[in-house]
Amino acid sequence: MPNGHQRYRCPACHQTFCESFDSLYYRRHVSPEHIRQVLQAHSEGSSLRGISRTTKHADNTVVSIVRAASQKAQLVHNGEVQAVQTEEVSADEMWSFVSKNKNNVQPRTESAETVGLV
């Protein structure tokens, strides 16, 4: 092959494809190592512009890699997590953000303190 990548042929439909078909690396002119660096930096909370500056890739390339990775992750999630039955849901973060707001906190009353409810 001129570009050095092995091509394969499907025996049923005779269509050709390469080993990176339907992956994050398919038809990208970015090395797999750079894609891993972009995704690692994104998972650590770096901004997309910051990632493009440090990896020296265009903003659109970084956004494209992150979007493609999120779509693949969504497909994996949808395939693995199906018909999950839950009996109890923990909402700790909701309590600390919404319900524990100063405007929502009720002042203590003497009757509740004497009964031992507080």
Q: Is the pLDDT of residue 92 over 70?
A: no
Judge whether 40 lies within some domain.
Answer: yes
- Residue whose C-alpha is closest to residue 25's, from 68, 62, 58, 63: 68
Q: Is the pLDDT of residue 53 over 90?
A: yes
Judge whether 52 lies within some domain.
Answer: yes
The count of other CB atoms within 10 Å of the CB of residue 25 is: 15
Judge whether 35 lies within some domain.
Answer: yes
Judge whether 99 lies within some domain.
Answer: no
- What is the predicted pLDDT for the residue at 1? 46
The pLDDT > 70 percentage for the chain reads 63
Q: Is the pLDDT of residue 115 over 80?
A: no
Judge whether 71 lies within some domain.
Answer: yes
| Residue 56 identity (one-letter amino acid) | K
The pLDDT > 90 percentage for the chain reads 7
- What is the predicted pLDDT for the residue at 41? 92
CB proximity list for 76: less than 8 A, separation 6 or greater: none
Judge whether 24 lies within some domain.
Answer: no
- What is the predicted pLDDT for the residue at 9? 81
Question: In total, how many domains does the chain have?
Answer: 1
- What is the span of the domain harbouring residue 64? 31-78
3-7: average pLDDT: 69
Judge whether 91 lies within some domain.
Answer: no
Judge whether 114 lies within some domain.
Answer: no
Coil vs helix vs strand at 1: coil
Q: Is the pLDDT of residue 77 over 80?
A: yes
- What is the predicted pLDDT for the residue at 116? 54
Coil vs helix vs strand at 9: strand
Query: 7: which strand partners?
Result: 18
42-53: average pLDDT: 91
Query: Predicted confidence band at 111 (pLDDT cuts at 50, 70, 90)?
Result: low
Chain centre to alpha carbon of residue 16 = 31
